[in-house]
């Protein structure tokens, strides 16, 4: 997780009902190394979706 991810997750956690984070990362809660953004979002009840899911929610096709 880089610095930008930390700020993004912190910002969204202030009002998680209003924000959704779109990430290319996949959850890896048992990863011994790097903490993944979807796992941080889950901890703070911030919605985090994949790019494909964002397009689906917006009704876009590609």
State the Cα–Cα distance between residues 26 and 28, nearest whole angstrom: 6
Task: State pTM to two decimals.
Answer: 0.82
One-character DSSP codes across 16-59 = TTT-EEE-S----TT-SSPPPHHHHHHHTT-EEE-HHHHHHHHT
pLDDT of residue 6: 83
Q: With 70 as the cut, is the pLDDT of residue 1 above it? A: no
| CA-wise closest residue to 26 among 59, 57, 52, 58 | 52
Q: With 90 as the cut, is the pLDDT of residue 3 above it? A: no
Instruction: List pLDDT tens digits, range 18-50.
Output: 999 999 999 999 988 888 999 999 999 999 999
């Amino acid at each position: 997780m880089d610095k930008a991810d930390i700020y993004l997750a912190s910002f969204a956690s202030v009002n998680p009902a209003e924000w959704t984070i779109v990430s290319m990362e996949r959850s890896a809660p048992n990863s011994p190394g790097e903490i993944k953004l979807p796992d941080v979002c889950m901890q703070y009840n911030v919605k985090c979706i994949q790019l494909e899911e964002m397009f689906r929610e917006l009704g876009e096709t590609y």
